[in-house]
Amino acid sequence: MNCTAFSFGIKYQEPFIVGLRAVEICANIRATAFCLPYGDQCLSLSRRWFNFVGGYPDQGLMEDYELVHLMRRRAQMINGISGEKFVILPGPPVLCDDRRWRKLGVVKTTWTNSALVNLYNEGMGADELFEKYYGKKIERSGGGAGIF
């Protein structure tokens, strides 16, 4: 085991938004069944493994998705297994705020997230996705990660 993550939970505010439990359940199924936790599940890996995969990708969007993809691909090259085995830690989930779902709605937020992943998998670059999502170009400062 080289990587761990927590299960995904949402910090609910009143009034409760219908559909958030389904978001939690689906995110945890994705993470467990397909070894695809996202950054909001607090990815954890050793420094050695982090350096081996090349560190965090220098991109303003989908960096957590790309890091997990790199870890799975490199694990397959090293030991011939079908992908990196993530362990979802038992216990309480890490909680994300519900403000984006509250602002845009569960269906629109979930659809947008899925669309971004699909566009990224089809080859759209992270900078172009950033512009599509935030409505502005990513600003870069001399060699560092994007500043937004």
Report the b/e string of 18-41 with b at 16+ CB within 10 A: eebeebbeebbeebeeebbbbebb
pTM: 0.80
| pLDDT tens, residue by residue, 2-17 | 688 999 999 988 888 8
The chain-wide mean pLDDT, for the chain, equals 85
- Mean pLDDT over residues 51-76, rounded? 85
Number of domains present in the structure of the chain: 1
Least confident of 20-24, 70-74, 86-90: 70-74
Residue 7 lies in a domain: yes
Say how many C-beta atoms besides its own lie within 10 A of residue 50's C-beta. Answer: 17
Q: Are strands 86-97 and 3-11 parallel, antiparallel or unpaired?
A: parallel
Residue 29 lies in a domain: yes
> Residues of the chain with pLDDT > 70: what percent?
86
Residue 44 lies in a domain: yes
**DSSP codes of every residue in 111-126:** HHHHHHHHHHHTT--H
Residue 109 lies in a domain: no
Residue 108 lies in a domain: no
User: Which tokens hold the place of 134?
Assistant: 């935030």
Residue 72 lies in a domain: yes
Helices 106-121 + 20-34 axis angle, to 10:
30
pLDDT score at 19? 93
Residue 24 lies in a domain: yes
* C-beta separation of 6 from 89 below 8 A: yes
Residue 57 lies in a domain: yes
Q: Which residue has the tokens 């397909």?
A: 34
Tell me the residue range of the domain where 83 lies.
Answer: 3-98
Tell me the range of 55-69, 93-107, 127-141 where mean pLDDT is highest: 93-107
